[in-house]
Amino acid sequence: HPTVERLIRENGHIFTEAQCKVCSALLISESQRLAHYQSKKHANKVRRYLSIHGGEEGAHGKKMKLEVKQEGSNGEDRNKCCPICNMTFSSPAVATSHYLGKTHAKNMKQQAPKVEGTRENKDITDPDKFCSLCHATFNNPLMAKQHYVGKKHRKQETKHKLMAHYGRTPDAPASSFMAGKGYPCSTCNIVLNSIEQYQAHISGFKHKNQ
């Protein structure tokens, strides 16, 4: 049986073809081995082993229990399949043994950052969750809407348009503005040293009266 064979391969420290160390059972034939590893008695012993076994394996087993519970929240029966490892089980005992194994633990570790990273990238490209212009994050679309009509966002928008118009970048050093390469206001015939000064000027009383 491929599932039982994989189970033995993953958990060689407690399950072998000839012996189940958890149940202290000797397994002489293949049929006996299959029957034992898929039995309820074995499943119960494995659970008891987890709850009373001290040391690293016990702690590892406890962690596995928590992860198993989490997987079941998606609606699938964790005793029948493991979506993380793409495996199906012939009995709860085989399932329990799989969740104790190294392969499952390894796949759980690989899965966690992958899902998190995908979620982060999705949030950055979603304007309802992130404003790339202001580097602001939002919890809901209403919060995003309020941000986009607010003064801070409009100011940033104007700033970036001016930067693009004059071929500047927001991170350009101030010295380049001071060396006669500022922001000219043709209406008032003056040159402003920084984008902030330029914005203040065009929204000011003197400029508007020209």
Separation of alpha carbons 137 and 126, rounded Å: 10
Decide: helix, strand or coil at residue 38.
Answer: coil
pLDDT on residue 124: 67
The whole-angstrom distance between residue 4's C-alpha and the CA centroid of its chain comes to: 32
Can you give the pLDDT of all 210 residues of the chain as single tens digits? 667 777 777 777 777 888 888 888 888 888 888 888 888 888 888 888 777 764 344 334 433 433 334 344 444 577 788 888 888 877 777 887 788 778 888 888 877 665 555 555 656 678 888 887 787 888 888 888 888 888 888 887 777 777 666 655 554 444 444 444 666 776 777 777 676 777 777 776 666 566
pLDDT of residue 14: 79
d(CA 22, CA 47): 10
Q: Which CATH class is domain 126-165?
A: alpha beta
Q: Give the residue extent of every domain in the chain.
A: 2-112, 126-165, 168-210
- Quote the distance between the C-alpha of residue 63 and its chain's center: 19
Query: Helices 92-100 and 102-125 sit at what angle, rounded to 10 degrees?
Result: 70
**Is the model's pTM score more than 0.95?**
no
With beta carbons less than 8 A apart as the criterion, state whether 23 and 40 touch.
no
- Whether the Cβ atoms of residue 147 and residue 138 lie closer than 8 Å to each other: yes
pLDDT of 63 reads 39
What's the CATH code, domain 2-112? Answer: 3.30.160.60
pLDDT of residue 8: 77
2-112 and 126-165 have identical folds: yes
Q: Among 150, 156, 41, 163, which Cα is nearest to 93's?
A: 41
- Say if residue 139 is exposed, middle or buried (CB neighbours under 10 Å; 0-12, 13-18, 19+): exposed
Measured distance CA(49)–CA(104) in Å, rounded = 18
> What's residue 122's pLDDT?
58
